[in-house]
Structures are given as structure tokens and as C-alpha cells.
Amino acid sequence: MPGVTAAQRPSTVVEIGGLPIRLGCDDPSFIALLVERYAGYVSASDQASFDFEIELAPPGTESGDEDLSVAWNSGRWLIERGDFRAEWNPSTARGRIKQTINPYSLDSVLRIVHTLLLARKGGFLVHASSAIRNGRAFLFSGVSGAGKTTIARLAPPDAALLTDEISYVTRQNDRYFAVGTPFFGELARVGENLRAPIACVYLLAKGPENKIEPVEGADAIRGLLGNILFFARDPEFVNLVFDSAFEFVSRVPVRRLTFVPNAAIWELII
């Protein structure tokens, strides 16, 4: 992977999933905002694999009703939404982002960039909360309202919460790992910057009693694919992530977790 030399303008390096990305901006107060936002994920090193320059647009210039678009064009990814416009050239390891001062716009860009990079390595981002307990990671996957944040809130003190919203799944050889991310949901808490092998993915369902059932084959694939983040409408990218989901399900158990929202549910997570 190409390295990038240190930039002269104010910058910080945010490292998620072992991938350091330098974020530079002429406005030092925005860099300070990013250092605060990504606390726990700011690298002590100035070395980065990718370099993004951020241009701040004046407040009020965003268009809130514009849908997200991620497209490959002339050797670079173009990533656009009402509140930002980004372009990224993977071969030069450089990109530009134009956005307002809202750091959550940058969150979206980073999620997409990581999704595109993970696809080439057999990993993906998935709508799931995740936590490490006894050295093993557990994912709790579901659509909005399924209980991702609820499960995270109920986690016992010995569980390290990686995220309550978007789980980061990487592949190393034939093993899959969950990695902490700063991407949070309702819990509004940055996940711990840790990683552990994934022991199980639970597909969340709310019900009258706590229950765990195995999910196999096509049902497991459907359950997982329904929650994986597909940003790019690009056949090659979709094929990579589609294949990754099949590989993942062939190596990691998938179960349906029906639960009532109380802490007793964690007694079943072993």
C-alpha cells in the first residue's frame, strides 16, 4: 500500500481498522474538532496510507435532500451527498472532501472509504452493534429499531463495546475479526479501539422470551446481506462484498437472537 508523506497544513491521522488516514484542513479549529470527535482513533504516528484534504464550505451551502451517490469515474471514486462532495484516487492514495464544518459528514465519507477498501480484503461494514467478551467478538445485527443499541446498553461491565451501530469486519487469512470504530448510533459513545475474532453473529429479533436459534444456508446469507452496507452501485464492488458475505457465513456461526430488553439476555451470549 502506498505511503503518504506528512502534509504541511494542519492535519490529524485517524486510524480505524489498522488503516491510517490523514485528514488535512486549513482551519486548525476543524482539525481540533476532529481530534475530539475521533478520540481513541487518532494515531500517535504521522504516517498514513491515505491523505484527504478537506475544504470547508460556508454553513448553509449544503443541500439536505440530495441522495448519496458513490461512483467510479476516470480512475477515482466520486462520493457525493447533499452535505459533502468527495473524490478519492486509490492509486495516488489522495482525496479531497468539500463539506461544511459538520464532522458527521466526514463520518459518512470515512465509512464509505473503509467500505471500498474492505471489499478488496474480504471484509465489510454491517449494521450491527458489537462487543468483545472473554477475548471473542459478538455481533448483533439488525435494521434500525431491531435492538442494536439496546443490546449494547445492556452489556455487562466485562464486555468491551466496539460500536452500537456499524460493525467493522475484517478478514485475516481464514479468520474474521470485529474491530472497534468511532461510528456510533443512539448510544453516542465511541467504541473501544480493540479487535477480536468473531465468535458469532446474532440476527436480532424482539420477542416475548430470550431465545437463540441457529440460522443456516440461504437464511443466514439473506440475514447478513440485508444488513451489510452497500454504498457503491458498482458491479465489481457488489460482487466482492456479495462473495465476502458467503465466505463469512461459511466460517462464522449465524444465529437468531430473540430477546426481551433486560440484562439477562447477556447470560446467553457465550
Nearer to other proteins, 21 or 159 (CB): 21
Q: Which stretch binds other proteins (CB under 8 A): 13-21, 49-57, 100-108, 242-250?
A: 242-250
Among 135, 157, 208, 217, binds other proteins (CB under 8 A): 217
Can you tell me which of 82, 172, 246, 261 binds other proteins, judged by CB under 8 A?
A: 246
Residue 94 lies near other proteins (rule: CB under 8 A) = no
Which residues between 157 and 216 bind other proteins (CB under 8 A)? none
Smallest gap, in angstroms, from Cβ of residue 47 to other proteins? 20
Among 91, 157, 174, 188, binds other proteins (CB under 8 A): 91
Per-residue three-class SS string for the chain = CCCECCCCCCEEEEEECCEEEEEEECCHHHHHHHHHHCCCCECCCCCECEEEEEEECCCCCCCCCCCCEEEEECCEEEEEECCEEEEEECCCCEEEEEECCCHHHHHHHHHHHHHHHHHCCCCEEEEEEEEEECCEEEEEECCCCCCHHHHHHCCCCCCEEEECCEEEEEEECCEEEEECCCCCCCCCCCCCCCEEEEEEEEEEEECCCCEEEEECHHHHHHHHHCCECCCCCCHHHHHHHHHHHHHHHHHCCEEEEEECCCHHHHHCCC
Q: List binders of other proteins among 58-87 (CB under 8 A).
A: 72, 75
By CB under 8 A, name the binding residues for other proteins.
72, 75, 90-91, 217-218, 221-222, 225-226, 230, 233-239, 242-243, 246
